[in-house]
Structure 1
Amino acid sequence: MTSSSHRESRAQRIALVALFAALMAAFGMIPKIDLPLGVPITAQTMGVMLAGCMLGASMGFQAMALFLLAVALGLPLLSGGRGGMGVFFLPSAGYLVSWPFAAIVTGLVMRALSGPAGSGPASPKRLALAALAASVVGGVLVIHVFGVVGLMLLAKLSLVQAAIGTLVFVPGDLIKCVLVAVIVHTVARGLPDWRFGGRAL
């Protein structure tokens, strides 16, 4: 790879990371639903799933880390116009902290299930199914494990109470997984060379 093509590739990666961080901010404009548990229902977890599926583990992590850094610096990018260091000490903090790691796991599962490297573009159907599975593992399981730990530490709930409390989010999160699969299927049909999960074609 020449130095110019390397710079171009790096610039593209930076642009994609920034784009998906901005996408998270856009999802934050969708009104949140507050629950007595202290953890709101938002659309932003779908952005985490999309970042992992579309960008892969490394860039997905970077996009989520960039977004959370902006939030920590005070930008009101979370749903409901929230931002600042204080959000990382609320009962929902475990869910927030999970996002970069959830993107990693989602990206790794997406890459593993989308076919071996060098085999050419996978079919849109296969990629959609891979995205569905990756979103469930990374975007639901990982996020909720972190969320339960956060509820135990910050809301002082028992393991059973936290686990039961987080179950209210699961149906909505599974719907998000299906939506991500539909989006991946659509992108795969229109852009068959897209490197889903950071996969090398």
Structure 2
Amino acid sequence: MATVIQQSDLDAVKQALSSQLNPKLQDDLNSQAKGKHLVAPDQPKVDVSTDHQVGEEIANFNMTMTLNATGVVFDNAAVSRLLREALKRKVQVGSELTSDQPKTTYDVAQATSDGSVTLNGHASGYTVIVFSQPAIRAHIKGRSPSSARSFLQGLPNVVDVTLRQDPIALPWLPFFSSHITIRIEEVSGTGSA
């Protein structure tokens, strides 16, 4: 008994083949990406051919489906590195990022089949004031302890100053800056985002 091929017959077979091939196509793209970030800018191109047409009387027909897809691949670590570098460039002179790793996030805004990717990225971190110890030592050498304390307390973000002279306290600090030791302690919560 022969039946007439309906469009719904072709659509059902096409849907069944797509269900089988789409996951394999995605797996193939992911394996070619080798652990990098994969973005598929376009839907896969689908080519379908059959050995019989709609309306023909036939018991069976064969359908061949070919899926072709492209993807854009980029390195997540490289994107994070670029975001951290951009954040470093925004840090004010006299400050630096803390040793805590900056937080980076991004979203793919657009990817095109020519390989262009547009990302919306964000980086955040904490900064601290950088003190030039040689300059500070040079500035306070030979000063009285009270004058040195006043100068140090006037520096940005300085919370407290303790001066200690060894072996005995003198009315002035050493005249050679190489004989002055400075220890800076960061107080928790004093960095800025």
Higher Cα radius of gyration: 2
TM-score, structure 1 normalization: 0.24
> Which structure dedicates a bigger proportion of its chain to strand?
2
Bigger relative contact order, structure 1 or 2 (CA pairs below 8 A, ≥6 apart): 1
